[in-house]
Amino acid sequence: MPVTFAVCGCGARGLEAYAPYQEQHPDEMKIVAGADTRPERLTMLRERYGVPGELCFPSDEALLAQPKLADVMIVATQDRQHVPAALAALDKGYHVLLEKPISPSLEECRALQRKAHETGKAVVVCHVLRYTRFYSALEAILRRGDIGKIETIDAVEHVAYWHQAHSFVRGNWRRSDETSPMILAKSCHDMDILRWLAGEPCLRVQSFGALDYFKADNAPQGAARRCLDGCQCKDSCPYDAEKIYITDPRTGIRGRGALWPCGVLASEPTEEKIWDALRTGPYGRCVFHCDNDVVDHQTVNLEFANHIHATFTMTAFTQDCRRTIKVTGTLGEVEGDMSENVLRLRRFGMPEEVIDLREEGGAYSGHGGGDFGLMSSFCKLIAGGGTEGLTGVDVSVESHVMALAAEASRLDGGRTVTLSEF
Ligand SMILES: NC(=O)c1ccc[n+]([C@@H]2O[C@H](COP(=O)([O-])OP(=O)(O)OC[C@H]3O[C@@H](n4cnc5c(N)ncnc54)[C@H](O)[C@@H]3O)[C@@H](O)[C@H]2O)c1
C-alpha cells in the first residue's frame, strides 16, 4: 500500500519537486488531497495526479478544517506559513514532511519540536542535500576515518548571479521581513550539512556579510526601472531579465522551457506568458531598483564541540549554481564540487583516489538527486512505522539555531555568538 499524502502548497516545491515521485513510484506514494490559493495550481493537481476536485482546497486552513485525509501532510507553502500548518496537521494526526526553513522564529521552531514529541508523529524537514549521493559519500568517508580526525571544513555556496537576481533580488526571498534572512532561507541546508559532517553540535559562530551590490546607488547611468522599458544598459547587463528568462539557454524559456525558473513567472509558461510577466511583473524589474534587503554575500566561521573549525561562504557572484567543499583531517583531505559529483580523496603520502558519483540519466536533477532521495527515504520511514528520519525536527532545529545565530552576529558587526546563550 502506498503512503498517502495531502499537499499543502502546490507551488514549485510541492508540485514539482516532491509530487513527481509518485509518477515513478506509484506503489510508494499516492497524493489524495491538496490545497493552494491559486486555482491554476489545483487544476494541475487534479489533472496530473488525479486528485478529486472535492479534495482540492483553496487554502491550508480549509484543508486543515477537514478530518484527517492522508497519512502525511507535505507543508510547502512560504517560509512564514510553515509552522501554523504543521502544528495543526500534527494535532489532526498527520505525519509532516516540512519544507525548510522550519521558520525564521526560533520560538516557532521550538514549538514544533515540542509538538512533534508530544504527538509522537514524524516531522521530517526537507534538508534534501543529506539525501544526495555526493554528501552521503562524503559523510561515509569521514565516518570511516579515511582522513583521520577531522580538523577543518571549508564550504562555499556559489549561488549564481542569475539565481540571486531571480530569488533574492526580484523574487520571493528578497526581503527578510517577508520570508527569512538569506543565511536561513538559502543556507540552512549548508548549516545542516556542516553539522552532519562535523558529527557534534556547533558551539560558536561569527559572521560578516552585506547587501553590497543590488541597490539603487549602483545603478549604471541610463538604467531604466524595468529591463524592457528602453533600458540603455541592457546589452552589457548580465542581470537583464530578457537574457535570464528568454534567451539564456540555461535559464530562459527558449532553452530550458517551462521548468524552474520560468515556471515561477507563470504556471505552464509559454514565451508569450514570460514576455507578459517581464513587462508587468516583479521579475521584469531592474536589479538595482527592487525592494530587496537580503545580503548578496555572507561568510560564517563556526566552532564545533569536537574542536572542528569550519568556514562557510555564500556568494551571489558566481557563474554557476553549485556547492564546493573541502575537509582536512590528521591523515588526509577530501574535496569535491557537487555539480561535478566527484570527490577527490587524498590520504597523505598516497595517490589521489577519485570517487565518481555520477549516475546515468539525471543525477543532477532535483538538487543532485536529493529531492527524490528524500522522498524515497521518507516513504520507507512512514511505511515502516518509523518516526526518526535522517533530517528529523530535532537535528534540523540545530541548523536553524546556527543560521539565526550567524545572522545575529552579522547584524552585530561580527560579534562571536555562543549558541547555548542564544
Ligand atoms: N528544500 C529545498 O531545497 C527548497 C528549495 C526551494 C524552496 N524551498 C522552500 O519551499 C517553500 C516553498 O517554496 P516554492 O518555491 O515552492 O514557493 P511557491 O511560491 O512556488 O509555492 C508556495 C505555494 O503555496 C501557495 N500558498 C500560498 N498561501 C497559501 C495558503 N494559505 N494555503 C495553501 N497554499 C498557499 C502558493 O500559491 C504557492 O503555490 C518555501 O518555504 C521555500 O523556502 C525549499
pLDDT score of 363: 43
Please list, residue by residue across 389-407, b when 16 or more beta carbons sit within 10 angstroms of its beta carbon and e when fewer do. Answer: bbbbbebbbbbbbbbbbbb
Verify whether ligand 1 is closer than 6 Å to residue 100 (CB atom): yes
Would you state the CATH architecture of domain 3-121?
3-Layer(aba) Sandwich (3.40)
**What's the rounded Cα separation, in Å, for the pair 201 and 186?**
20
Q: Ligand 1 mean position to 157 CA, how many Å?
A: 22
Verify whether ligand 1 is closer than 6 Å to residue 11 (CB atom): yes
- Which residue's CA is minimally distant from atom 3 of ligand 1? 128
Verify whether ligand 1 is closer than 6 Å to residue 160 (CB atom): no
pLDDT score of 422: 86
Short-list 126, 100, 251, CA closest to 180:
100
Could you state, in order of their start, the residue ranges of all structural domains in the chain? 3-121, 129-214+293-366+390-421, 216-284
Verify whether ligand 1 is closer than 6 Å to residue 163 (CB atom): no
Q: Ligand 1 mean position to 6 CA, how many Å?
A: 14
pLDDT score of 32: 98
Out of 8, 78, 390, mutate this one to test ligand 1's pocket (max ligand atoms within 8 Å of CB): namely: 78
pLDDT score of 364: 43
Residue 130 and residue 196 in contact, taking contact as beta carbons nearer than 8 Å = yes
Q: Would you write out the chain's pLDDT as a tens digit for each of its 422 residues?
A: 999 999 999 999 999 999 999 999 999 999 999 999 999 999 999 999 999 999 999 999 999 999 999 999 999 999 999 999 999 999 999 999 999 999 999 999 999 999 999 999 999 999 999 999 999 999 999 999 999 999 999 999 999 999 999 999 999 999 999 999 999 999 999 999 999 999 999 999 999 999 999 999 999 999 999 999 999 999 999 999 999 999 999 999 999 998 899 999 998 899 999 999 999 999 999 999 999 999 999 999 999 999 999 999 999 999 999 999 999 999 999 999 999 999 999 999 999 999 999 976 554 467 889 999 999 999 999 999 999 999 999 999 999 999 999 999 999 999 999 999 88
Would you state the CATH architecture of domain 129-214+293-366+390-421?
2-Layer Sandwich (3.30)
**What's the rounded Cα separation, in Å, for the pair 190 and 298?**
13
Verify whether ligand 1 is closer than 6 Å to residue 99 (CB atom): yes
User: How many of the other CB atoms lie within 10 Å of CB of 129?
Assistant: 22
Which region, left, alpha or beta, applies to residue 375 given φ > 0 means left and ψ of -120 to 50 means alpha? Answer: alpha
pLDDT score of 216: 98
